Amino acid sequence: MNVTDKTIRHVAREANVSVTTVSRVMNGSEKVSPATREKVLKAAEKLHFTPSRTAIALVTKRTRTVGVVVPYLDNSIFSSMIHEIEQTLSELGYFLVIAVSNNRIEEETKSADRLLAMGAEGLILSGADHDAALLSRLGVRNIPVIFTSIWNEAAEYPTIGYDNFGLARIAVRHLEKLGHRSIAVLHGPSDRSDRTRERIRGLVEGKSDRTTLLFFEGEVSAEAGARGTRRALERSPKPTAVIGLSDIIALGAIFEANRQGLTLPADLSIMGFDNLEWSEECCPRLTTLELPTRRMARAAAEAIVAKLETDQPIAPICFDGSLIIRESTAPA
Amino acid sequence: MNVTDKTIRHVAREANVSVTTVSRVMNGSEKVSPATREKVLKAAEKLHFTPSRTAIALVTKRTRTVGVVVPYLDNSIFSSMIHEIEQTLSELGYFLVIAVSNNRIEEETKSADRLLAMGAEGLILSGADHDAALLSRLGVRNIPVIFTSIWNEAAEYPTIGYDNFGLARIAVRHLEKLGHRSIAVLHGPSDRSDRTRERIRGLVEGKSDRTTLLFFEGEVSAEAGARGTRRALERSPKPTAVIGLSDIIALGAIFEANRQGLTLPADLSIMGFDNLEWSEECCPRLTTLELPTRRMARAAAEAIVAKLETDQPIAPICFDGSLIIRESTAPA
DNA sequence: CATTTGTGTGGAAACGTTACCACTTGACGG
DNA sequence: CCGTCAAGTGGTAACGTTTCCACACAAATG
């Protein structure tokens, strides 16, 4: 990689052994006498030898790299997911390459191909909804894939995630128990995200017949949350509760409610989804659904490495999330 | 990389030409007759041939990969910076690998080494404050490095960023012009971030003698912002303004002020730093300093590629930020 | 004592490209 | 008609590892 870089051959000469032997001690493997091992280690040290990952990759046909593509990076649980994956991978001696898709199928496809081109041996994707051509390409190349942030046993690839449907149902029931019968739902682009669709389905199927849901679609941003809230409050009768299918959307709702002079949660209950870092600090503190992001991330990373190392099949896992009741929801 | 992967040799045989010729057409370079080119392209297509990046890297000693390590990913301008760098790099035919340091020198050092191990040929770091051993390692290996998010002509490596000092001075003067004389400053760990130190210095040196600054240090989070605000409001006389050296800190301040029943901005002016996506949507809309993140990111990516390609020296650049006055600041 | 079994070591062929050099054409100018 | 040149093409040695195979030698076995 560099002018000053030494190769295994330099080390071999320095230690007066064969390249084979150097290779052996560098890999800690095989039978090498302690004396020889010591000699080699000393020589390597002296020459500042670093094995060429490129050469290793070429001959072993292994890059020890996994790719993950997430819909967003900012204001989302995905950044903590990435962090956990990176940590796990690193512990296992693997590398991580990432890309963001902005929740767009075409961008995701492009990103995934890019990650593959970078040498990713396995892919962790979000949701189960992907470009068919991409999936078939992954299939023929026999690339291990895991779908995360979702739970769907019928998906083309194993899912390691959580039950968006069930969680959303918990959310709507919480609101119903408080007496809310007219609820505004603020969500991101549903056609681009099966996670969102699942949540919406959970809301719809989880609610009782007496409850009315009003849907407002926008981006996953505070701005969209504010706008959705504005539109919701123009309706009559006004909804008594708002649920943002992302905390950042809920935050926008809080901003807008504040701006309209409402008293929270008395005038309007607001719920989020994600339990982001600031959610607890919010005013009012945000009632939300905690997602098992870290556990999920770790499990996914471990599973894909296991698949890569020993080719053992990836077992789908569904982690539990939980309702966190705080101050932003109150009786209707 | 895969069982089904074809090599350049397969293509050569299929097209009935030499590997050299295939190589030439794959690189679009050199003289190849249109007929031959066509033949080769067709063969490559037919065999689903993808050149092995690993092999190319081995022989060319080029990975076309640059690494960037950022202090944080979430709630920060860094995620948009990453996004812009990735885009630029991608346009230039380069790859990006990233790591996050949590603003810790040791973690940054580990991350940087990891990125190097992954094959990064150049590094983009945040701030100018880094582990001396790392820097010397980069020096001997002759790795191009750019420091971003800061402006410091005296730094060991070229800086492409903005003037934290000057921007902070603008901030404090804005508050002074509104009549604020007692200002609470909420900031992240200053010993771990020269960007923060620069901002603090800008505040201190920019203020007039009649103004008092109260400093509260914490993490870069809403929670820390809230706590700092709480402590600040216990002082007497109470500060009439709060400036968070990150928008997320300012957000925490807003939450806490709301919680204490203050009317914003009448009872307390609040300023941020970053102009994150939700800052405009905030209630009250947040007065903050907009940072030239995207321009900076693009410039850094372009500069490091130029350095890698043609070895032309990296010219330091200082981009302008700007004060965005919104509703969260008012006369004292 | 002859044979087998380990144990430690080295030689050299891959891995999939690029890049240097050499070669074959046919065209062109003198 | 010969020499020169350019365009197009191919042969092959790298690049830095791993891994298969072979081998030397000592210890254990019959």
d(CA B249, CA B275): 12
pLDDT > 70 in chain B, percent: 98
B307 contacts: CB under 8 Å, gap ≥ 6: B122, B144, B313, B314
Backbone phi, psi, residue B274, to 5° = 135, -40
Beta bridge mates, B123: B67, B145
Find the residue in A nearest to B221 (Cα).
Answer: A278
Same domain, B134 and B172: no
Q: For residue B273, give the amino acid letter.
A: F
In a domain, residue B228? The reply is yes
Q: Least CB-CB distance to A140: which of B4, B65, B74?
A: B4
| Tokens (6 digits) for A17 | 């052994």
Same domain, A187 and A266: yes
d(CA B237, CA B227): 18
In a domain, residue B41? The reply is yes
For position B2, what pLDDT does the model report?
Answer: 45
Q: What is the pLDDT along chain A (332 residues), one digit of tens a residue?
A: 444 578 999 999 999 999 999 999 998 866 788 888 998 999 999 998 999 999 999 999 999 999 999 999 887 889 999 999 999 999 999 999 999 999 999 999 999 999 998 999 999 999 999 999 999 999 988 999 999 999 999 999 999 999 999 999 999 999 999 999 999 999 999 999 999 999 999 999 999 999 999 999 999 999 999 999 999 999 989 999 999 999 999 999 999 999 999 999 999 999 999 999 999 999 999 999 999 999 999 999 999 999 999 888 999 999 999 999 999 999 98
For position B1, what pLDDT does the model report?
Answer: 42
d(CA A90, CA A96): 8
Find the residue in A nearest to B284 (Cα).
Answer: A259
Same domain, A217 and A119: no
Torsion angle in degrees (nearest 10) through CA of B190, B84, A99, A76: 50
Same domain, A192 and A255: yes
d(CA B24, CA B310): 22
Structural domain for B35, as ranges? 8-59
Domain final residue pick, A21, A41, A59: A59
CATH code of the domain in which A52 resides: 1.10.260.40
In a domain, residue B53? The reply is yes
| Tokens (6 digits) for B257 | 């002020």
Q: Into how many domains does chain A fold? A: 3
**Residues of chain B neighbouring A52 (CB-CB closer than 8 A):** 58
Same domain, B155 and B299: yes
- Percent helix, strand, coil in chain B (nearest 5)? 45, 15, 40
For position B30, what pLDDT does the model report?
Answer: 67
Give B284-303 pLDDT, tens digit per residue: 999 999 999 999 999 999 99
Exposure on the CB side of residue B258, measured as CA atoms within 13 A:
25
Same domain, A47 and A78: no
Residue B277 DSSP label:
T
Write out which nucleotides of chain C lie closer than 7 A to a protein Cβ. 7-12, 14-20
Residue B190 DSSP label:
G
CATH code of the domain in which B85 resides: 3.40.50.2300
Same domain, B134 and B104: yes
Q: Do B255 and A52 touch (CB under 8 A)?
A: no
Residue B46 CA to D3 C1' — how many Å? 44
For position A33, what pLDDT does the model report?
Answer: 86
Nucleotide closest in space to B58 (CA vs C1'): D15
In a domain, residue B232? The reply is yes
For position A56, what pLDDT does the model report?
Answer: 95
d(CA A184, CA A27): 59
For position A5, what pLDDT does the model report?
Answer: 75
Nucleotide closest in space to A8 (CA vs C1'): D16
Indicate whether B180 pLDDT > 80. Answer: yes
Same domain, A246 and A177: yes
In a domain, residue A242? The reply is yes
Q: Decide: helix, strand or coil at residue B65.
A: strand
In a domain, residue B2? The reply is no
| Shortest alpha-carbon distance between residue B64 and chain A (Å) | 10
Residue B305 DSSP label:
H
Give B196-244 pLDDT, tens digit per residue: 999 999 999 999 999 999 999 999 999 999 999 999 999 989 999 999 9
Same domain, B286 and B300: no
**Residues of chain B neighbouring A83 (CB-CB closer than 8 A):** 73, 100
**Residues of chain B neighbouring A256 (CB-CB closer than 8 A):** 283
Give B113-141 pLDDT, tens digit per residue: 999 989 999 999 999 999 999 999 999 88
In a domain, residue B330? The reply is no
Q: Do B222 and A254 touch (CB under 8 A)?
A: no
Question: According to DSSP H, which parts of chain B are helical?
Answer: 8-15, 19-26, 34-47, 53-60, 78-91, 105-117, 132-140, 164-177, 194-206, 222-234, 247-259, 293-310
For position A151, what pLDDT does the model report?
Answer: 97
In a domain, residue B208? The reply is yes
Secondary structure of A29-48 as H, E, C letters:
CCCCCHHHHHHHHHHHHHHC
Question: In 3D, which of A126, A163, A116, A210 has the Cα closest to residue A323?
Answer: A163
Find the residue in B nearest to A281 (Cα).
Answer: B223
**Residues of chain B neighbouring A254 (CB-CB closer than 8 A):** 283
DSSP states along A233-290: HHSSSPPSEEEESSHHHHHHHHHHHHHTTPPTTTT-EEE-SB--TTTTTSSSPPBEEE
Question: According to DSSP H, which parts of A101-221 are helical?
Answer: 105-117, 132-140, 164-177, 194-206
Same domain, B27 and B54: yes
| Shortest alpha-carbon distance between residue A279 and chain B (Å) | 9
Find the residue in A nearest to B117 (Cα).
Answer: A53
Same domain, A227 and A180: yes
Write out which nucleotides of chain D lie closer than 7 A to a protein Cβ. 7-12, 14-20
Backbone phi, psi, residue B67, to 5° = -110, 145
Same domain, B106 and B152: yes
**Residues of chain B neighbouring A75 (CB-CB closer than 8 A):** 74-75, 277-278
